[in-house]
Amino acid sequence: MTAKRHVERNGAWKPSRFLLLCILVSSIQHPVSTFAGMPQPMVVYYGQAKDEYGLPYRNGADVILRIGTNEITRHTINGSISPGVNFTLYVPIDDGRDDTRYVSYAATTGQCVTIVVVDDRGERTIMEGAAVPCIEHPGDLLRINVTAGMDADMDGLPDEWEWQLLLWGDNPLYHTVEDIVGSDDYDGDGQPNDDEYRAGTFAFLDYDYFFAERLARTANSRLRVEFLSVAGKVYRIESAPFELAGWSFAWLPCEYALTDTGALQTGPAEGTGNWFSFYVPDVPSNHVLRLKVE
């Protein structure tokens, strides 16, 4: 018997036993709601952690996320998860309906977090500390690349990397970290300091810079583009119609394979620390290629 039929027969609404049973069962199914918050979709911080020289960690480091002094979660780096991503930090989110969390280490929206790296030299603060986003919405995926270095002169280059130029280079014009500027070309090899930092080449050696060292047609009629890669760095190859006017190119990802007969793919590839080749099929005439590193 439903509540509606009960009203029709007696003229006044009375809860039926069935309805009472439903209310009772409902309260039994969710007893936790009156004692603690409810879980919401996790927030995920992910990205690439690099050392003070801009080299992606391959192993031997933990990325830790804290709220205040409480550790919420950590990721022990063991290679890459995908090109350019070597950590994910899953943050459990509580709906914050009261002061009791559904798990003790759950966060709530509006809280801000800190990220640190622990490597073989201990705990390291990250250069991007002020850029780490706070928790705003359950289920957010938040990309943040982190660098375990210092940047006292706030030029985006780790000071440790800049000191390397001063210690190993011989350019008499530079004496302090403040003298090193990203847009300058310390070693005069044609590539600015910040490009060499990004590529992982030595910005104090004029014979070390990022370029395709070999271009060759293969037995399978593909174009082999070979370069010296840095482990963990992300590489892309793109093509565009050659336009003389304005030298503006409409770059698009280029199909490539990792061997001469391998399956074609697009998207990023991750460096190995050794010689690396893109095998590009059928480059249309009047097209140009470019090789990128992040």
Residue of 139, 204, 126 whose CA lies nearest to 172: 204
Judged by beta carbon, residue 52 or residue 94, the one nearer Ca ion is 52
Q: Give phi and psi for 234, each to the nearest 5.
A: -105, 130
Residue of 275, 283, 291 whose CA lies nearest to 223: 283
Q: In Å, how far from its chain's centre is CA 25?
A: 45
CB-based burial, 117-156: b 16+ in 10 Å, e otherwise: bbbeeeebebbbeeebeebeebebebebbbbbbbbeeebe
Choices 21-29, 44-52, 197-205, 278-286 (CB under 5 A): range interacting with Ca ion:
197-205
Choices 71-79, 128-136, 196-204, 220-228 (CB under 5 A): range interacting with Ca ion:
196-204
Judged by beta carbon, residue 45 or residue 235, the one nearer Ca ion is 235
Residue of 293, 198, 232, 197 whose CA lies nearest to 77: 232
Asked if residue 140 binds Ca ion (CB under 5 A), the reply is no
Dist CA 258 CA 265 (whole Å) = 9
CB of 51 to Ca ion, least distance (A): 15
Judged by beta carbon, residue 102 or residue 209, the one nearer Ca ion is 209
| HSE-CB of 56 using CA atoms within 13 angstroms | 29
Judged by beta carbon, residue 19 or residue 205, the one nearer Ca ion is 205
Q: Any bridge partners for residue 254, and if so which?
A: none
- Under rule CB under 5 A, which residues in 144-183 are in contact with Ca ion? 151, 153, 155, 157, 159
Q: How far is CA 182 from CA 30, 69, 124, in A?
A: 57, 35, 23
Per CB under 5 A, the list member of 73, 86, 191, 229 interacting with Ca ion is 191
CB of 233 to Ca ion, least distance (A): 15
Choices 37-45, 102-110, 194-202, 230-238 (CB under 5 A): range interacting with Ca ion:
194-202
Judged by beta carbon, residue 40 or residue 201, the one nearer Ca ion is 201
CB of 34 to Ca ion, least distance (A): 53
Asked if residue 255 binds Ca ion (CB under 5 A), the reply is no
- Decide if 13 contacts 7 (C-beta within 8 A): yes
Judged by beta carbon, residue 156 or residue 241, the one nearer Ca ion is 156
Per CB under 5 A, the list member of 65, 187, 235, 236 interacting with Ca ion is 187
CB of 142 to Ca ion, least distance (A): 25
Residue of 287, 262, 288, 279 whose CA lies nearest to 221: 279
Choices 92-100, 164-172, 187-195, 255-263 (CB under 5 A): range interacting with Ca ion:
187-195
Q: Any bridge partners for residue 78, and if so which?
A: 59
Q: Give phi and psi for 264, each to the nearest 5.
A: -80, 150
Judged by beta carbon, residue 140 or residue 208, the one nearer Ca ion is 208
CB of 129 to Ca ion, least distance (A): 14
Judged by beta carbon, residue 136 or residue 178, the one nearer Ca ion is 178
| HSE-CB of 181 using CA atoms within 13 angstroms | 4
Per CB under 5 A, residues contacting Ca ion are: 151, 153, 155, 157, 159, 185, 187, 189, 191, 196, 203, 205, 208-209
